[in-house]
Amino acid sequence: MFSDDTFLARWLSGELTDKEKQDFEQDPEHQSYVTLIKDIGALRAPNFNEVKVFKELRSRLSTPQEAKTTIIYWGWLRAIAAVVVLGLSVWSLYPIKEVNVTTGVAENKKLVLPDGSQVSMQGGSALYYAPKLWKKDRTLDLRGEAFFQVKPGRTFTVKSRGGQIEVVGTSFNVVAIGDALAVQCFSGKVRVTDASTQNRQYLLQPGDFVQLHAAENRPLYSKSTNLPKIEQGQCNFYVASLEEVFAKMEAQFNVSIANKEKYQSRRFTGAFRNDNLELALKMVCIPMELRYSLENQLVKIEDK
Amino acid sequence: MSNQIHETVCEEKTFEHLFHVHGQVIRNFLYYKSGSLSLAEDWLQEAFIKLWQECEKVSVEKARSFLFKVANNIFLDHARHQKVVLKFEQKSNSDSINPENPHFLLETSELHTELEKAISGLPEHQRIVFLMNRFDDLKYAEIAELLNISVKAVEKRMHGALVTLRQVLKSI
């Protein structure tokens, strides 16, 4: 019906000839375009907090740049090379002592890292880090779930099989089970790198949530308006696989859940209490319309 | 007058002014492309960091197209081929809203969601041109310059976007 494929653009910007305009106004479709433009006119892009974003930009600009390359004379270089080789061999003789903290089933631990950063570990989790290197390299490995409150300073890195999380000074929750990784940011900014697709990065702001799973190539990334609030004494999930939820429950309560694999593809958002097995089972099974039976630390889950 | 010619982006005042003038449009551009506000704002800052680093080479007049080019490159570096889901806000001064009528409010919010869905579903090249024109009040010629395409191409995308949106929304 349009004389060319720029007609509506010209109509909108008032560039039609009088004749074109009159003809279009006779057209039955004319009114629907007028309504469309009016409806869209009532909307706008999300609010832009210019002051806040500029402030962040300022602080990013004022953080010191990477150390500049310095010129080294060749004579010196040889001496340095020798020291480095020597250093390396001594290094391998005395491996850096790693601290390994694990929590047993249903055990929660709080620990303070050498820089004062705090970690609350949930049951069935393990942490590895090197206190001697901590000043230079705030990196630790995590399996399981932990909540971090990081003191400002050098980049703080949490590694897991599913990916890696980098922050400067902030608080965030990590669930790293197998290849799955879920991170929720509470304050500050958190950068998450997906292990399966190296370059995929997510910058989380307070309230944001990301869940990665190597087996599923579509990660979940959300603004957390509907997220369950993390509370002490609860295990929280956001669109997590039900199998993971039950695995968490096994670790937390020292029970075994018979047919949890069956529910791998179902998703659960919510929380369960980590101090009462019956209550925890109810908190998951009732909303998911499942039935559970409990006998001698063995749980059976069935469809209702 | 003469000191205007020598004005460089390296002046902190100028830099801040450029952020004030172009920040929002570039943030929105990145949002329309990525569907993520936090990424859009992160990349916006990266684009301005780049501008600061190269402030001696960029004149004030060229700053906007420089920033768009950098922003677009940053987006391409991080491009995740996933569906974009855009959310918009209701303009507060919409005179048509009558808070006394809940039925009407419900219809408005349904329409709002349908519009978001329909616009998010547009092909990227149409979506960006369409929103830059409607939400950021950029003229076709400005959009053409920033995206480095012809005015005719902008008009075609605009026309295409309107035809598609009308078809999608006709059903409701």
CA-to-CA dists, residue A42 to A12, A172, B24, B101, B112, angstroms: 16, 37, 19, 18, 9
Any CB–CB contact under 8 A between A59 and chain B? no
What number is the average pLDDT over the span A206-213?
74
Listed residue (A193, A182, A154) closest to A239, CA to CA: A182
**Which residues 113-142 of B have a C-beta within 8 angstroms of A?**
115, 119, 131, 133-136, 139-140
Any CB–CB contact under 8 A between A2 and chain B? yes
Give residue A78's pLDDT. Answer: 45
Angstroms from A69 CA to nearest CA on chain B: 18
* A chain contacts of residue B163, beta-carbon cutoff 8 Å: 8
Question: What's the CA gap between B158 and B123, in Å, rounded?
Answer: 11
* B chain contacts of residue A54, beta-carbon cutoff 8 Å: 16, 19, 23
Nearest to B155 among A6, A33, A44 (CB): A6
Angstroms from A161 CA to nearest CA on chain B: 21
Any CB–CB contact under 8 A between A36 and chain B? yes
Nearest CA in chain B to A217: B82
* A chain contacts of residue B78, beta-carbon cutoff 8 Å: 199, 201
Give residue B116's pLDDT. Answer: 93
Residues A279-291: tens digit of each pLDDT: 888 888 887 888 8
Question: What's the CA gap between B125 and B84, in Å, rounded?
Answer: 13
| A76-80, A133-137, A161-165, A204-208: range with lowest mean pLDDT | A76-80
Residue A199, classified by CB atoms within 10 Å of its CB into exposed (0-12), middle (13-18) or buried (19+), is exposed
Residue A51 is classified by DSSP as: H
Give residue B53's pLDDT. Answer: 87
Is A236 in contact with A183 (CB distance < 8 Å)? no
Residue B8 is classified by DSSP as: B
Residues A253-272: tens digit of each pLDDT: 888 898 888 888 888 877 78
Give residue A65's pLDDT. Answer: 39
Q: Taking CB atoms and an 8 Å limit, are B19 and A6 in contact across chains?
A: no
> Which residue in this structure is represented by tokens 């790293």?
A176
pLDDT above 90 covers a percentage of chain A that reads 14
The answer on pLDDT for B19 being more than 90 is: yes
Residues 6+ positions from A186 with CB-CB distance below 8 Å: A170, A171, A172, A173, A206, A207, A230
Within 10 A of B62 (CB to CB), how many other CB atoms are there?
Answer: 12
| A126-135, B119-128, B149-158: range with lowest mean pLDDT | A126-135
> Which residue in this structure is represented by tokens 């998911």?
A288
Question: What's the CA gap between B163 and B32, in Å, rounded?
Answer: 19
Q: Taking CB atoms and an 8 Å limit, are B48 and A6 in contact across chains?
A: no
* B chain contacts of residue A33, beta-carbon cutoff 8 Å: 162, 166
Question: What's the CA gap between A297 and A275, in Å, rounded?
Answer: 15
Any CB–CB contact under 8 A between A203 and chain B? yes
* A chain contacts of residue B154, beta-carbon cutoff 8 Å: 9
Any CB–CB contact under 8 A between B29 and chain A? no
Nearest CA in chain A to B134: A41
What number is the average pLDDT over the span B135-152?
94
> Which residue in this structure is represented by tokens 């529910």?
A263
Is A116 in contact with A131 (CB distance < 8 Å)? no
Helix axes B63-78, B140-147, angle to 10 degrees: 60
DSSP 3-state percent helix, strand, coil across chain A (nearest 5) = 30, 35, 35
Angstroms from A304 CA to nearest CA on chain B: 34
Q: Taking CB atoms and an 8 Å limit, are B90 and A42 in contact across chains?
A: yes
